[in-house]
Structure 1
């Protein structure tokens, strides 16, 4: 499949540095990694970056509770995050931190550009203040009733039920999460970014194909309400970067967090001197920038972020892929519900490829929530991967190993069938390109069914009884191995660990361009089990021993 795009920069939303990576986080990173691996298989230059989001009141409070300095705590958490992502074969080129020298310099640089362009405004605002804790309360430390739809137990910035964005002082019957007291109103001078100045630019940009239609439609509602100036400052006490020329004010975490995309790439450029930073971030860059994010942070990425980039003369994203939440057994991920599964808990009992595959059967270009049904997960992986795909290799390789000295025949039994598989490859690659992984896996499994039907019809176990049929037997089993090779090539972005084992078995690299030519007169290795069935006991133990 030909593509004109050659240089890509891909990011995931930055995980917050206050806890372990769990199966909810993994959805996005697996989705992005599958897409990145596909792009790399096409021969494109892809830089895949991420970082820990390390600032804000929650980090400060957790640091106080644990008695560890914020700097030490975020370093420890970053190390854990990197190990967790590596365990799921997330192929980052760089994993950095927003609490870095590169990020501080970039935040100050961008702030000064905004200020110079007259886009920073000062306003006296009224905020909710917790007199017990002696601090202004961030939106996420206030809960109350949504002023729009009247849903209870909503945070101070937005409603999870109706999606409304509002000011925390508009929350009905607010309560401080920290002290469970009713906060009082107090005034403070804050700095604001003039977001409404970019309304027309954003209207054009958000309709340019950069967003999925569902997201684009949602944003039209926000335009109708009218964009508001965006508060980019926070009062002390706070963990973050101080605003220049202020002693008690800090940059709001949501200003410096997305700038972490730029600073993580800048850090990568320090490590790899052959990468041109300006080529990827200058205003008229010809490279492509892709963000993978969850639906809860669309407002920031589709409005604030592109406006900040436009205002400070950086390039804007080429595409934003938005996904829904992860449910486990139809419930929101929650420790109280007993379905909060961390990355390392998963890997104690199950392999990473299994979750990568299961998520890929659910991931589409829609923004629907994804349900990790653990019983369905067992059936899907065992049926699709073991019973169908691995079965093709195991049932044909035994004859190649035993009767033909591990060497494939010099021609295929059914060239027309092989060509049909190749034609299907374009369709599957198109699904990968558009993040329709659910459709890609459906098609892959349908082709595995065809391959198994072919082997059933040819019945090599009958032919082996007649030595005069050995040439035909050789060609049939070689055909089976070659069909397996195509299928496992399609699966390579999804299941990298399995594809590594398959490459050893086939004694050949897997890539889309290589399948055009079948393996003939080629020596494979003796078959060893490529994948094991998942047992119900593994899931039972996972759920039982999470703590």
Structure 2
């Protein structure tokens, strides 16, 4: 265990309250949760917070369509999101909403600090207006062709194909997503965060290229955006939207509202502030510029721009600490293709549970694919069935079922203390810091590959020693107890290494082995004869192919 406990504030990106959680979203929350659980096992102080992202025109329009107020809609969606996160064992310390009094207060306070620093400017701009719906159109409600690469059907703020950012008025052949009409241009007063100010440019160049150990792909992308010293590449950021809009009104600007991307990241802090008020933590101590706490954001690569430019600049110039790091991941494909509703592969989190899947199957499978890069990962459904059944059932769970029965029936569940010095145990124990370093680096695929290699060695030990044969010889009772004791201690160690990924299984194993909740320091606390194990009960079932068919059918 690390000698000096760390203090970590961790977030995942905030899911938008305009849709359900699907398995593509879950990749990020599982990735974050594994890291958080690992850090807790290491003895660090970790606070993992999140919230629903609740503001903007899409919420307003969907609520109107469903005959609800926006607040009624977001309350309903919050319940669904929280249910799905709980089902997949995502261990938030606090899960909140960005439509909160804490977020309104913080957002207005931060805005006023930026304004006082001379970084907010009002300008009259030409803006897209829907002549049918009679409303200004936010970026995501205008589509057209990217002005940089020509890709069709792109949103009004950024291109998903080439990554360019631009103004909605720059789109070629634009149309309103709300009515289908061709937008007209109207003038409106808007408020801008002056990212082009030399203070911002210099800060962001230093933060992205020198001070923050961003992933190489992320750092290179930021380098394109911030440019070299003397270059002015950053455009100013429009942080306002016109009524009608569901969000927070800008101070001293009636009818103008904060753009959702201004108050959504502040929602991380608002969720943490609420949690601090509930638990007695000192909020300022965690978020002040000179704090020794660490702050990490897990996000998808599609929102890298907002988290590595807008968010650090907002924090820095409003007098808060900046993130220790931002960890981005790639997208999830299913059987090598983008998730598709028509193919049944836009799989909702709730349908996974309704079809009787064990969420730890998905947690494990995603972990076998996750690393520290921005590369996409694929859920191959045939491989999913084979991998879960082979690794978790065939290699890992099988170890306990092959040994526990003999120990309970023949030795009242008591292990042999001398067996804990066996070379196999020493070898598995010796892997603890290697596996810990892989978890720390978010190299989960490598960590689990290492654990499964150890599981193979344990199964080879069982096959070589054949406890089922030893059990037939009354003269070899001591050998039988020794072999079964070594096997179960090895199983305990493998469970410890897998616990960040399989927390429910770990609870079942802890009960079965009569041990306290495992933390990383328990690597050196073997089973002992004073705590007899309990009779073995099935810890996990197999995935069956018909379950996959039912899941795909449920999402058509």
Cα pair 2:432 2:523 within 8 Å, conserved:
no
Task: Determine which of 490, 493, 496 is the counterpart of 1:486.
Answer: 493
Match of 1:202 in 2: 204
Corresponding residue SS for 2:402: helix
Report the alpha carbon displacement of residue 109 of structure 1 after superposing the two structures with TM.
Answer: 0.6
Residue of structure 2 equivalent to 1:234: 241
Q: Deviations over 1:181-232 (max 9, x none)?
A: 2111111110001112211111111122431111000111112370011101
Write out per-residue CA displacement over residues 68-110 of structure 1, whole angstroms, 9 at most, x where no aligned residue: 0001110111111111111111111111111111010111111
Partner of 1:528: 537
Aligned match of 1:169: 169
In the alignment, what sits opposite 2:294? 288
Structure 2 residue aligned with 1:211: 214
* SS of the residue 1:430 aligns to: helix
Q: Give the drift of 1:299.
A: 0.4
Query: CA 1:113–1:413 in 2, change beyond 3 Å: closer, same or farther?
Result: closer
> How many residues of Structure 1 are paired with residues of Structure 2 in the alignment?
546
Which residue, 348, 359, 363 being the options, matches 2:370?
Answer: 363
Q: Find 2:337's aligned residue among 327, 331, 337.
A: 331
8 Å contact kept, 2:290–2:321: yes
- Asked if 1 retains the 8 angstrom alpha-carbon contact of 2:344 and 2:553, the reply is no
Q: Secondary structure of 1:292's match?
A: strand
Moved more, 172-181 or 428-437: 172-181
Deviates more, 1:336-345 or 1:364-373: 336-345
CA contact (8 A) 1:396 1:480 kept: yes
The structure 1 residue matched to 2:510, chosen from 481, 498, 503, is: 503
Q: 1:413 to 1:292 in 2, by over 3 A?
A: closer
Task: Name 2:132's counterpart in structure 1.
Answer: 132
SS in 2 for 1:96: strand
Q: Residue 310 of structure 1 is aligned with which of 304, 312, 316?
A: 316
From 385, 389, 394, the counterpart of 2:392: 385
Q: Which runs of 5+ in 1 are unaligned?
A: none
RMSD of the alignment, in Å?
Answer: 1.2
Q: Which residue of 2 aligns with 1:512?
A: 520
SS for the counterpart of 2:417 is coil
C-alpha deviation, 1:323, in angstroms:
0.5
Query: Which deviations, in whole Å up to 9, do the C-alpha atoms of 1:317-370 show, x marking residues without a partner?
Result: 001110011112222223233211111110112011111000000110010111
The residue number in structure 2 matching 1:423 is: 430
Q: Return the alpha-carbon distance in structure 2 between the equivalents of residues 469 and 92 of structure 1.
A: 50
Separation in 2, partners of 1:36, 1:6:
12
The verdict on how the C-alpha distance between 1:328 and 1:3 changes in structure 2, with shifts beyond 3 A counting, is farther
Distance in 2 (alpha carbons) for counterparts of 1:413 and 1:101? 56
Q: Are the counterparts in 2 of residues 413 and 472 from structure 1 also a CA contact under 8 Å?
A: no
Deviations 1:121-141 (A, max 9, x none): 111111111101111111111
Give the Cα separation in 1 of the matches to 2:415 and 2:5: 37
Residue 246 of structure 1: which of 232, 253, 266 is its match? 253
SS at match of 1:544: helix
SS in 1 for 2:378: strand
**Aligned positions of 1:349-360 closer than 5 A:** 349=355, 350-360=357-367
Task: Answer yes or no: is 1:343 the counterpart of 2:361.
Answer: no
Mapped pair 1:110 → 2:110? yes
Cα distance 1:147–1:110, how it changes in 2: closer, same or farther (>3 A)?
same
**Is the contact made by 2:420 and 2:526 (CA closer than 8 Å) also made in structure 1?**
no
Tell me how far apart the structure 2 counterparts of residues 353 and 291 of structure 1 sit (CA, whole Å): 23
Quote the residue 1:542 is aligned against.
551
Runs of 4+ in 1 over 6 A off after TM superposition: none
Q: Are the counterparts in 2 of residues 407 and 523 from structure 1 also a CA contact under 8 Å?
A: yes
Q: 2:105 and 2:492 mapped to 1: Cα distance? A: 49
Aligned residues of 1:411 and 1:520 also touching (Cα < 8 A): no
Q: TM-score with structure 2 length normalisation?
A: 0.96
Contact 2:23 2:349 in 1 (8 A): yes
CA contact (8 A) 2:420 2:489 kept: no
Deviation at 1:5, TM superposition (A): 4.7
Determine the structure 1 residue equivalent to 2:77: 77
SS of equivalent to 1:195: coil
Separation (CA, whole Å) in 1 of partners of 2:348 and 2:342? 14
Offset of 1:414 from its aligned partner?
Answer: 6.0
For residue 60 of structure 1, what is the aligned residue in structure 2?
60
State whether structure 2 residue 25 is matched by structure 1 residue 25. Answer: yes
